[in-house]
Amino acid sequence: MKSRLKSLLFVYLFWVVLFILQKPIFLLFHWNSACRHSFGEWLLTNVHGFSMDLSMAGYFTLPILVVLLVSCFFSKDRLFGNVTKVLTIIFLSFGMLVLVSDLFLYKYWGFRLDATPLFYLSSPKDAAASGTAKEYLSALLLFTLFLGGSMYAYLKLHKRFFSFSGKAYVALLPLLLLGGVMFIAIRGGVGVSTMNAGRCYFSKDIFLNHAAINPTWNFISACFSSKRFDDQYRFMPDEEAHERLLPLLPVEGDSTTIRLLRNTRPDVIFIIMEGIGSNVIETLGGEKGVAPNLNRLMEEGVLFTRFYANSFRTDRGLVSILSGYPAQPTSSVMKYPAKTQNMAKIPLSLKQVGYDLAFFYGGDDNFTNLHSYLVTSGFEKIITEKDFGHSEMSTKWGAYDHVVLKRLLKDIDEETQRPFFKAILTLNSHEPFDVPMRRLEEPYLNSVAYTDSCLGAFVDQLRQRELWNNLLLVILPDHAYRYPADLSSSCVARHEIPMLWLGGALKQQPMRVDTVCSQMDLARTLLSQMDLPADDFIFSKDIFGQRTHKFAYYAFPDGFGMIDHRGVAIFDNASGAPQECDNDTLLLAGKAFLQCLYDDLAKR
């Protein structure tokens, strides 16, 4: 029994050590970038990439575990030993090929190897033309060196550590238990989030974050999760699509029709509420008695009454809010750090003019690569569930909203740099709606009531501080929630959400804005009010622009909706037919918008 357990541990630890060694190889290969950083930062790439190394090592060891389990029923140990050698050599060949390809391609692409090379297999000649003969020769020599060295080390150690004889039924249970531990490592732990590239992000310098990523894991993950974006949603010829898109884009040189701010450099706080739609806000025609504080605040601030979520998920909603980028029906761009790292972001625009940045979230910021997106957004401070005590945590997702808002208030009181931009993503109005109060019977409505009470108390406390006089507070959800339960994921009501601007930085309040708009329009609208450039936000529109076409787009699984003054057009791609269409031109505009969006995704 012990011999088989020792054999399994040997294989697993061999892979772990091999992956650890790959990080200094990457850093040395890209010395011009790596030399700017200290030895301590080099070590941190291994610290923050270790869990991904454990995960990938688990994937390569699982087949060996299967062989060892089968071997428990046979006495031919030499046969099974040879099988494990062959499997490991195959995995080593694959891993070294990925490593060397990644080393050479990174200097051109600026991101770790993903499925992108597979996109060019249809034109191998053109793909091969991108490299020089010297590079191909160097790559071949490195591949031979790395593969030869790793195979030599493995075969030497295999003789010493990989040995067993005879049948061993008693080893079955311990091997299965080790397999269970290995599965946890593969998954990335027992928490809500599974292993993703965002877990490796720890630095303001994107190069260090990239250095921490296991290239083999990244490549395999991309192969199984990515699709060619430019092959999806082909509704019309490209020329026609771009012609129909033009009227939907922001007009160059367009000027705003109204000035909301007293000055162009207010302190700014975004409160992004988890899953609170207009259907639970009485002021907007929703349920009565659920959110009295939001109702009260909406009577005081600038309320956008025809505002829509671009998606149905947090990861997509955040990108729409902070990057002004439309959500996608079949994917989430946040899951592709190589695409989001160069994307325009409100925090980065503010950072360039001296704003101090901080993000607050009571949950796990590794979920769906959120952490990597926040880091590349320029946030210097990121507060997550790790920063709160056990008594402050709910049973499922993380810290309670009132605890995180209290932490935000403390941070504001201790803030020494002005102006500042702070964003908070609330949490507890998400399933399973675990909140420390019981006012309403329906769990979702009760959770909204709880978050509403937290927001009301937070805003009231902010009013008592001097900084309120120069504060812009923007309150909006990441998406709406499917309430009531029979609400279709594609219907307009599923995406109706509130947006409210509050604070002493506003010239005029109360005020109602009845213009059709959506989350992705916040970026250009806010930056226009602050006299900051917003040309990089290619899909975002100024809600108050004089010549901008006012519309809202939203995505649902494999479909989209479009809303403007002409009505509504909802298209379900699975069925290939519109679910609702008040105007054929609007439907064609929506198809063109989605087609061009996926073209843009493909190029990023």
More confident residue, 231 or 270: 270
Given a cut of 70, whether residue 587 has pLDDT beyond it is yes
Dmax over CA atoms of the chain, in Å, equals 84
pLDDT score, position 116: 65
pLDDT score, position 78: 76
Query: What backbone phi and psi angles, to 5 degrees, belong to 99?
Result: -60, -50
Q: Which two tokens stand for residue 604?
A: 């990023």
pLDDT score, position 442: 94
569 contacts 583 by C-beta, under 8 angstroms: yes
- Predicted structure pTM score: 0.80
pLDDT one-digit tens code per residue, 295-353? 999 999 999 999 999 998 899 999 999 999 999 998 889 888 889 988 999 999 999 99
518 contacts 320 by C-beta, under 8 angstroms: yes
Share of the chain above pLDDT 90, in %: 68
Query: What backbone phi and psi angles, to 5 degrees, belong to 516?
Result: -70, 125
467 contacts 412 by C-beta, under 8 angstroms: yes
Q: Go through the chain and tell me how many residues it has.
A: 604
pLDDT score, position 126: 47
List Cβ neighbours of 35 (8 Å cut-off, separation of 6 or more): none
pLDDT score, position 428: 92
Q: Which two tokens stand for residue 521?
A: 């329009």
List Cβ neighbours of 463 (8 Å cut-off, separation of 6 or more): none
Q: Which two tokens stand for residue 434?
A: 């675990």
- All domains of the chain in start order, with CATH: 2-225 (no CATH), 229-573+583-603 (3.40.720.10)
509 contacts 502 by C-beta, under 8 angstroms: yes
Given a cut of 80, whether residue 482 has pLDDT beyond it is yes
Strands 552-556 vs 356-361: parallel, antiparallel or unpaired:
unpaired
For residues 238-264, average pLDDT: 92
Neighbours of 134 (CB within 10 A): 8
List Cβ neighbours of 561 (8 Å cut-off, separation of 6 or more): 490, 492, 495, 553, 554, 555, 568, 569, 570, 571, 590
pLDDT score, position 484: 86
For residues 563-583, average pLDDT: 91
Read off the DSSP letter of residue 390: G
DSSP three-state, residue 208: helix
pLDDT one-digit tens code per residue, 351-400? 999 999 999 999 888 777 899 999 999 998 999 999 999 888 886 778 99
For residues 89-105, average pLDDT: 94
For residues 41-63, average pLDDT: 95
DSSP three-state, residue 427: coil
Asked if residue 326 has a cis previous peptide bond (ω within 30° of 0), the answer is no
Angle between helices 39-71 and 77-109 (to 10 degrees): 150
